[in-house]
Structure 1
Amino acid sequence: MEKVNLCWLRRDLRLNDQAALYHALRAGEPVVPVFVFDTQILDDLEDKKDRRVTFIYEVLEALQRQLEGYGASLDVFYGTPEAAFRYWTGKYEVAAVYTNHDYEPYAKSRDALIAGQLKVKGIAFHTYKDQVVFDKGEVLKDNGEPYTVFTPYSRKWHDTLTFFYLKPYPCEKYMRGFYQQAPIQFPALKEMGFLAGEKHFPSHYLQENVIAHYDQTRDFPALEGTSRLGVHLRFGTVSIRAVMQQAMQLNSTFAKELIWREFYQMILEYFPHVVGHAFKREYDKIQWRNNEVEFERWCNGETGYPIVDAGMRELNATGYMHNRVRMITASFLTKHLLIDWRWGEAYFAAKLLDYDLAANNGGWQWAAGSGCDAAPYFRVFNPTLQTQKFDKDFKYIRKWVPEFEGFGYVKPIVVHEEARKRALEAYGKALRS
Structure 2
Amino acid sequence: MTAPQIVWLRRDLRLADQRAFHTAAQAGLVIPVYVLDDETPKHRKMGGASRWWLHHSLAALARDLEARGSRLILRRGRCDEVLAGLARETGASAVHALGHVEPWWRNAERAVATALPEGVAFERHDGLYLMPPGSVTSGQGGQYRLFTPFYRALSLHMPPPVPLPAPELAAPAQWPASERLEDWELLPTRPDWAGGFRKAWTCGEEAARAQLADFARRVAAYDEARNLPSIDGSSRLSPHLHFGEISPAQVWHELAKQGGAGSASFLRELVWRDYAATILRQFPDYPERPYKPEFEQFPWRDPLTDSQAAEDLAAWQRGRTGYPIVDAGMRQLWNTGWMHNRVRMIAASFLIKHLLIDWRHGERWFWDTLMDADYGNNGVNWQWSAGCGADANMFGRIMAPLTQSEKFEAAPYIRRWVPELSGIDQPYIHDPESYGMRPPAYPPKLVGHREGRERALAAWARVRGNEGDSG
Query: Could you say whether these structures have the same fold, taking a TM-score greater than 0.5 normalized by the shorter chain as the test?
Result: yes
Residue 284 (structure 1) shift: 1.9
Residue 280 (structure 1) shift: 1.7
Structure 1 counterpart of 2:442: 409
Q: 1:182 to 1:127 in 2, by over 3 A?
A: closer
Distance 2:414 2:232 in 1: 15
Q: 1:288 to 1:191 in 2, by over 3 A?
A: closer
Are 2:362 and 1:350 aligned? no
Structure 2 counterpart of 1:230: 238
Distance 1:15 1:57 in 2: 17
Residue 378 (structure 1) aligned to one of 368, 372, 396: 396
Structure 2 counterpart of 1:36: 35
Residue 189 (structure 1) aligned to one of 147, 167, 182: 182
Letter matched to residue 218 of structure 1: R
Greater Cα shift, 190-199 or 396-405? 190-199
Structure 1: gaps of 5 or more residues: none
Q: 1:89 to 1:185 in 2, by over 3 A?
A: closer
Residue 139 (structure 1) aligned to one of 136, 139, 164: 136
Distance 2:335 2:90 in 1: 44
Letter matched to residue 141 of structure 2: G
Contact preservation (8 Å) 1:31, 1:177:
yes
Structure 1 counterpart of 2:346: 328
Are 2:101 and 1:103 aligned? yes
Structure 1 counterpart of 2:198: 199
Letter matched to residue 229 of structure 2: P
SS across alignment from 1:409: coil
Q: 1:133 to 1:263 in 2, by over 3 A?
A: same
Contact preservation (8 Å) 1:264, 1:362:
yes
Residue 60 (structure 1) shift: 2.3
Distance 1:384 1:146 in 2: 39
Distance 1:248 1:213 in 2: 14
SS across alignment from 2:101: coil
Distance 2:384 2:46 in 1: 27
Structure 1 counterpart of 2:250: 242
Structure 2 counterpart of 1:112: 110
Distance 1:348 1:230 in 2: 14
Distance 1:307 1:87 in 2: 52
The CA deviation string for residues 375-409 of structure 1, in whole angstroms up to 9 with x for no partner, is 432110000000101135x1111111122352432
Structure 1 counterpart of 2:414: 397
Structure 1 counterpart of 2:67: 69
Are 2:125 and 1:128 aligned? yes
Structure 2 counterpart of 1:169: 164
Structure 2 counterpart of 1:277: 289
Residue 90 (structure 1) shift: 3.5
Letter matched to residue 447 of structure 2: V
Distance 1:44 1:264 in 2: 17
Q: 1:270 to 1:252 in 2, by over 3 A?
A: same
Letter matched to residue 127 of structure 2: D
Residue 274 (structure 1) shift: 1.2
Residue 334 (structure 1) shift: 0.3
SS across alignment from 2:378: helix
Greater Cα shift, 18-27 or 320-329? 18-27
Contact preservation (8 Å) 1:31, 1:179:
yes
Q: CA RMSD in A?
A: 2.3
Are 2:222 and 1:214 aligned? yes
Residue 194 (structure 1) shift: 4.4
Residue 374 (structure 1) shift: 5.3
Structure 2 counterpart of 1:60: 58
Structure 2 counterpart of 1:10: 10
Distance 1:32 1:335 in 2: 50
Greater Cα shift, 323-332 or 142-151? 142-151
Distance 2:273 2:53 in 1: 21
Structure 2 counterpart of 1:25: 25
Residue 54 (structure 1) shift: 3.2
Residue 145 (structure 1) shift: 1.2
Q: 1:2 to 1:167 in 2, by over 3 A?
A: closer
Residue 249 (structure 1) shift: 3.4
Greater Cα shift, 400-409 or 186-195? 186-195
Greater Cα shift, 283-292 or 350-359? 283-292
Distance 1:228 1:265 in 2: 20
Contact preservation (8 Å) 1:72, 1:180:
no
- TM-score, with structure 1 as normaliser: 0.92
Are 2:172 and 1:179 aligned? yes
Greater Cα shift, 373-382 or 102-111? 373-382
Letter matched to residue 235 of structure 1: F
Structure 2 counterpart of 1:432: 465
Q: 1:32 to 1:46 in 2, by over 3 A?
A: closer
Structure 2 counterpart of 1:306: 324
Distance 1:40 1:385 in 2: 46
Contact preservation (8 Å) 1:102, 1:108:
yes
Identity %: 35
- TM-score, with structure 2 as normaliser: 0.85
Letter matched to residue 142 of structure 1: G
Are 2:80 and 1:94 aligned? no
Residue 239 (structure 1) shift: 1.4
Structure 2 counterpart of 1:268: 280
Q: 1:168 to 1:178 in 2, by over 3 A?
A: farther
Residue 81 (structure 1) shift: 1.5
Q: 1:424 to 1:34 in 2, by over 3 A?
A: same
Distance 1:46 1:252 in 2: 32
